[in-house]
Amino acid sequence: MGNIGAEYSNTRHNIGFKVLDALAKASNISFVDSRYGSVVELKHKGRIYVLLKPSTYMNLSGKAVNYWMQKENIPLENVFVIVDDLALPIGAIRIRQNGSDGGHNGLKSINEVLGTNAYARLRFGIGSDFSKGRQVDYVLGEWTEEEEKILPERIVKAGEAIVSFGTIGVERTMNFFNSK
């Protein structure tokens, strides 16, 4: 998940877009603007992954996710959402089969539109180095120079988790990536 527009492109809140962009680039494929988002199909080991960067902004992500699930006939158990998480240190990856929105408006939107929170998600840590009352500024702020140094390797790892989810399933992917 993320927000469209140049002003958001390098913000912590856009880590989902950053992960998908890196995966697409590594796979030599490009996103195409379409209804409710930019989309590309990634083919790997006989499977097709529909990568979606919603254009609905974070707070309405559910609309885009639901539309593409219906359009591509994607069952809920094959949905994998990439989301920023303040509760995790920068670059930490935690995969869950389901869960609450944890105060994240993008997940809240998906939960409301789908009527469930029973979909897999990869939580990418963005840290919480902000003073009281400055959470929004932090989340919508750009990565620091120090943070930028660790991001490339962690973004690649998150891309590997996406591919793993589609090939070996959520439980085995959790076992492999949550232990690192």
Active site residues: 13
Q: Are 104 and 110 in contact (CB under 8 A)?
A: no
Q: Are 150 and 91 in contact (CB under 8 A)?
A: yes
Q: For residue 152, what are its two tokens?
A: 């490339």
